[in-house]
């Protein structure tokens, strides 16, 4: 697997073999870290971390990942640079590309991370945009491999807001990796039809399926139950209507029972609003692997940086 110099903006851009390669690298880096073995593949590299949206896991994962591999991370918040405000995204990209060896972007518009990639001349990594959250999917997949032993052929059910960046990215990733993917959500919150068709094409090639449903009965047979906040950042004004619309899709003990499996794991990209999309009972249960998932953000993000920038 040679990903040197590649950007990491969406899993659409990567083959199943490349995605698996990143997961295998992440597992190797994780095992080494547990033994106290750190790398120096990013020694002497300077990494810009642009955050329009605040974050616990993404910021910490990139910072620790950089440090573990010998790089210097520089945090750039909304008050630190003029991205798209006093200075165009193109000009900011060209300046940062001359000073930094790699750029992470976490923000709103996906076109901004695309412009950074186009104009900076260095690898750019998507830490989250309104459309996609690809580093989270790698962490989710590594967690599934650890707990369930495989990806291909698993039954994965996502409940809640089916058209946010998590649902989009999980659908792309599951389609590519041969995971049977179901979104259970009200029709008003289903993903865009063109993206569904694209992912069905991936699934056809991988021998899996993509299903959209409004019925929670379709969690039957699920190996993974996944949910996310009902209101993404920037949608706070819609909170009351979303709660009313999505209450029937809450992940609670009764819903977990509907899977008919004792081995089903519960996943959430965090932060969670307990009492909304998931009950405290399920969140704190033995089936919940959310903190393994959170830790794996760091190992998988480190793998992305090492693969695309490392020596």
Collapse the DSSP code of 108 into the 3-class scheme (helix H, G, I; strand E, B; otherwise coil) and give the result: coil
pTM over 0.85, yes/no? yes
pLDDT of 57: 98
pLDDT of 21: 98
Question: How far, in Å, CA of 274 to CA of 287, rounded?
Answer: 16
Do 149 and 54 belong to one domain?
no
CATH number at residue 225: 3.40.50.1370
- Residues 103 and 62 sit within 8 Å (Cβ to Cβ): no
What b/e string do you get for 114-125 counting C-beta neighbours within 10 Å, with b at 16 or more? bbbbebbebbbb
pLDDT of 114: 98
- In this predicted structure, the answer to whether residue 295 has a pLDDT above a threshold of 80 is yes
Q: Which domain does 269 fall in, by range?
A: 136-289
> Which sequence positions are flagged as catalytic?
106, 133, 136, 228, 269, 297
Both tokens of 185, joined, read: 């959500």
- In this predicted structure, the answer to whether residue 206 has a pLDDT above a threshold of 80 is yes
pLDDT of 84: 80
pLDDT of 82: 76
Do 91 and 31 belong to one domain?
yes
Mean pLDDT over 7-25 rounds to 98
Strand runs labelled E in 92-245: 102-106, 124-128, 155-159, 180-184, 210-213, 224-227
Q: pLDDT band for position 260 (50/70/90)? A: very high
Annotated binding site: 55-58, 82, 106, 133-136, 165, 228, 232-233, 269-270, 297
Do 104 and 92 belong to one domain?
yes
Q: pLDDT band for position 192 (50/70/90)? A: very high
> Beta-carbon neighbour count of residue 76 at 10 Å?
19
Annotated binding site for carbamoyl phosphate: 55-58, 82, 106, 133-136, 269-270, 297
pLDDT of 263: 98
Do 160 and 64 belong to one domain?
no
Residue 127 C-alpha from the chain's centroid:
8
pLDDT of 69: 98
Do 83 and 115 belong to one domain?
yes
SS3 content of the chain, % helix, strand, coil (to 5): 50, 15, 35
Place of tokens 């997949």: 141
Do 170 and 66 belong to one domain?
no
Q: pLDDT band for position 100 (50/70/90)? A: very high
Do 97 and 53 belong to one domain?
yes
Do 262 and 157 belong to one domain?
yes
Annotated binding site for L-ornithine: 165, 228, 232-233
**CA–CA–CA angle 180, 160, 8 (5° rounding):** 60
Do 182 and 255 belong to one domain?
yes
Do 230 and 153 belong to one domain?
yes
Mean pLDDT over 254-274 rounds to 98
User: Residue 250 phi/psi, 5° resolution?
Assistant: -65, 140
Question: How far, in Å, CA of 171 to CA of 229, rounded?
Answer: 17
- By DSSP bridging, strand 155-159 and strand 180-184 are parallel
Residue 265 C-alpha from the chain's centroid:
17
- Indicate left, alpha or beta for 78 from its phi (over 0: left) and psi (-120 to 50: alpha): alpha
- In this predicted structure, the answer to whether residue 238 has a pLDDT above a threshold of 90 is no
- In this predicted structure, the answer to whether residue 301 has a pLDDT above a threshold of 90 is yes
Domain count, the chain: 2
- In this predicted structure, the answer to whether residue 311 has a pLDDT above a threshold of 80 is yes
């Amino acid at each position: 697997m040679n990903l040197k110099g590649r950007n990491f903006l969406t899993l659409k851009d990567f083959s199943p073999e490349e995605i698996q390669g990143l997961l295998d690298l992440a597992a190797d880096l994780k095992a080494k870290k547990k033994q106290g073995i750190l790398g120096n593949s990013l020694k002497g590299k300077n990494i810009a971390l642009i955050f329009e949206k605040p974050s616990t896991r993404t910021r910490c994962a990139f910072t620790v990942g950089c440090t573990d591999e010998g790089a210097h991370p520089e945090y750039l918040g909304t008050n630190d640079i003029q991205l798209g405000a006093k200075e165009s995204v193109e000009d900011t990209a060209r300046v940062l590309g001359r000073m930094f060896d790699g750029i992470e972007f976490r923000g709103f518009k996906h076109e901004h991370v695309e412009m950074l990639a186009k104009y900076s001349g260095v690898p750019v990594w998507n830490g989250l945009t309104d459309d996609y959250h690809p580093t989270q999917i790698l962490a989710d997949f590594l967690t599934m491999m650890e707990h369930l032993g495989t990806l291909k052929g698993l039954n994965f059910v996502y409940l809640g807001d089916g058209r946010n960046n998590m649902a989009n990215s999980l659908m792309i990733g599951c389609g590519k990796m041969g995971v049977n993917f179901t979104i259970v959500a009200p029709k008003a919150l289903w993903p865009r039809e063109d993206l569904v068709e694209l992912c069905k094409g991936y699934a056809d090639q991988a021998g899996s399926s993509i299903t959209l449903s409004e019925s929670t009965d379709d969690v039957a047979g699920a190996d993974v139950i996944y949910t996310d906040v009902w209101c993404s950042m920037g949608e706070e004004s819609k909170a009351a209507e979303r709660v009313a619309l999505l209450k029937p899709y809450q992940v609670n003990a009764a819903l977990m029972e509907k899977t008919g499996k004792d081995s089903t794991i519960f996943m959430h990209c965090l932060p969670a609003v307990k009492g909304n999309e998931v009950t405290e009972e399920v969140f704190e249960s033995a089936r919940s692997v959310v903190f393994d998932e959170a830790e794996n953000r760091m190992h998988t993000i480190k793998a992305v940086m090492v693969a695309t920038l490392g020596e």
